[in-house]
Every structure is written in structure tokens, then in C-alpha cells.
Amino acid sequence: MKIMRWIRHILLLALLMLEANAQVQLPTLSREGGNSVLTLSREMESALQRFKPGFKTWKSADYSISARKGFAGDSLQSRTPFALILDANKDGKPDVILDGHDDSNSLLLCLLSHEQDYIVEIVDSSHLIVPSQTVDFKEGVKDTGLCYIFSRTCIWTSEKNFDPHKTFVFQIVFPQRTDSAGKLANDGGSVSYYFEKGKFIRGDFDPL
């Protein structure tokens, strides 16, 4: 009898583990037509709704042509123009950087794993940007929309500005811009973000 109870106990634990694993959802990226689509896990969706129900990610079309071309060769496994899947707090669970807005601000958020759930951290914020009114030029050609890309590497960060004592997470890269005549207006640059003691830290702007 003791052996049978022991076997039933082991089987019950195995079933519970299988059920728990079946419930684990990972964020995924896909493409519908020319648009990138991000599907969040239930836990991530719940955290976002608790934090700010009115938050919306930007759409692929809100980014400039040159920014979208920076993602053209990607396999959609970890990034789109408006999202970046990574492990910010190094706990082995996926976190997601979201680029978007509410009714009054542009917001850069992180859906961050916390114990068995997710929380939302504000990575950065600014006044509300209107992508259709954001006009730059690339080699003299008008390039309308949000013009930057996300990177999980720090190859655009100079040795002077890189902080090896902090945990590097990602960076935003701003490409070169010209005026309407094709004359160089700025060389572009990058901003690195680090994660320390549960918070994101923004580094200095680093010219390319």
C-alpha cells in the first residue's frame, strides 16, 4: 500500500509539473503583411493593463523607411521596430522592451519578470511625439517617422562611454541625418541602457 501511495504521489507531482509547463507562454514576434506583430504572454498582458491600460506600442509604419530597413533582414526572433525581447535582469526569463505611447507621453517600457509574475518599469519617457510630423532627411531624401533602431549589442558605444561596472541591456541607435540638399546634418549616435538594482539607467549620448 505504501508503494502504491508513493507511486500516486510521484504521478501527481509529474502531472502538476506538466500542467505548469503547459501554462508557460513566451512572447512571440510574427509578421502580417508589412507589419510586425508582437504577442505577449498572459502575465505580460495583465501587467501592462494594471500599469497603464491606455498604453499602445507604435506600429511599424510609424517608423521611418531607413529605420524599418534596419530590421529588414531580421528573422523576427527577438526584435521589431517597436519591441525588443531580451533578459534584462538576467534571471533566465524573457523580458520585453516596448516603444509606444499613451495619450500624453511617448513611453519606453519594460515588461520585467518578477518572481512568478511580471511588472512594468518605465525605461524612459518624453513629450508625445507625432511620427507623421517627424521629418528628417537621409542623403537628401525625406525620411518621415521615428528614426532609430534597437540593438542588443553595444558595438556603437565608445570605450569612453561604456560602463563595464553596470549590466548592459540594450541601446538605441540614431543613424546619420542630412539636410534636404544631402549635406550631412549630424553623424548620429547611440544611447545605452543598463540595469542595476532593479532599475534601468540611461547612459550618455554617444556620437557615432
User: CA-to-CA distance for 26 and 73, rounded, in angstroms?
Assistant: 23
Kindly report, residue by residue over 113-161, the tens digit of the pLDDT: 999 899 999 999 999 999 999 998 989 999 999 999 999 888 777 778 7
Nearest to 187 by CA among 199, 175, 173: 175
Per-residue pLDDT tens over the stretch 17-49: 444 444 557 899 888 877 888 999 999 999 999
The pTM assigned to this predicted structure is 0.84
